[in-house]
Homo-oligomer: A and B are copies of this chain.
Amino acid sequence: MFHHSSKLQYPVKVDKPNPQFAMLLQQAIGGIEGEIRVAMQYFFQAMGARGDDRIRDMLMSTATEELSHIEMLGHAVALNLEGAPVSYQEETAKDPVMNAILGGANPRHLLSSGLSAMPVNANGVPFDMSHIYATGNVGADMLANVAAEAGGRVLASRLYNWTDDHGMKDFLSFLIARDTYHQQQWLAVIEELGGMQAQLPIPNSTPEDHEAMQHSYYYLNTLLDKEAPKGRWGEGPSLDGKSEYSIVNQPAPEGQEPTLGKAKPNSGAQNEQM
């Protein structure tokens, strides 16, 4: 069951409101790199977590933290929209620089939300829940979480680089820090589970006789006019310790030509196809 405190997890200040930055911040709320995504991803992973209950508890606990991040970002958006013009005749709207800034603002912050945050990204596209990756496989889920937090920290760093507002930089430095930890947190789960070698290939429960293992350890170079790039992926022991890497250049197809024959009567095709 969830509970709430009326205060924010970390202070959120804006020195100089900027409607264009409000629009950029939306990416951290409703973007695929954003906080709704991780909050809901950890929540649904938790609700399907089978096996070690410590991991379910961690998922739910961190999902809860991410909800608090949405709350802070939502407040940051509203503070950046304080003073945004609601009429073309307002002084601010007539100023060429402000007009340029407004050109880059989200018009729905004016029209739809009444100067507050929305569950959309920086293009105004609503977040959709197909981005919640929760497989029921702890290895796949942990990797998806590290990847999500990596994307999140890239985004927070770009936002930090863009703004020159001290309040916003302070707030973003907190989000950057938490993303640092969360990357490590999910990798630490993998370490607990025996590390990458024990977990690979994911799922590690697939019996070897379900796999055409002669195709499991070569790099396939489909480039016609270049040799395969040389590197760790083409030589040395495989990362799961089970085989050696090799390279296959310019592979010939092994399969058949995929002809389907004639269309079935009454299937709605043209007569010429039957």
Selected from B47, B204, B219, the residue in CB contact (under 8 A) with A258 is B47
| A183 and B200 contact, CB distance less than 8 A | yes
Taken together as a complex, chains A and B put the C-alpha atoms of A25 and B74 apart, in Å, by 26
Contacts of A255 in B (CB 8 A): 1, 7-12, 72
Taken together as a complex, chains A and B put the C-alpha atoms of A126 and B44 apart, in Å, by 13
A106 at the interface (CB under 8 A from B): yes
Contacts of A62 in B (CB 8 A): 220, 222
| B269 and A138 contact, CB distance less than 8 A | yes
Interface size of A by Cβ–Cβ distance < 8 Å?
A: 197
| B218 and A181 contact, CB distance less than 8 A | yes
Contacts of A71 in B (CB 8 A): 1-2, 43, 47, 258
Selected from B6, B131, B187, the residue in CB contact (under 8 A) with A257 is B6
| A140 and B154 contact, CB distance less than 8 A | yes
Contacts of A132 in B (CB 8 A): 118-119, 126
| A143 and B140 contact, CB distance less than 8 A | no
**Shortest beta-carbon distance, A268 to chain B, in Å?**
4
**Shortest beta-carbon distance, A67 to chain B, in Å?**
4
Taken together as a complex, chains A and B put the C-alpha atoms of A124 and B231 apart, in Å, by 36
Taken together as a complex, chains A and B put the C-alpha atoms of A177 and B130 apart, in Å, by 26
| B157 and A268 contact, CB distance less than 8 A | yes
| B259 and A53 contact, CB distance less than 8 A | yes
| B266 and A87 contact, CB distance less than 8 A | yes
Known: A87-B266, A100-B100. A203 touches B157 (CB 8 A): yes
Additional 11 contacts, C-beta under 8 A, given A86-B158, A144-B147, A189-B231 = A3-B250, A12-B258, A50-B263, A58-B219, A88-B162, A114-B137, A120-B123, A131-B131, A135-B154, A137-B268, A202-B270
Known: A201-B183, A263-B51. A224 touches B5 (CB 8 A): yes
Which A38-70 residues sit within 8 Å CB-CB of chain B? 40, 43-44, 47-58, 60-65, 67-68, 70
Known: A3-B64, A65-B222. A176 touches B211 (CB 8 A): yes
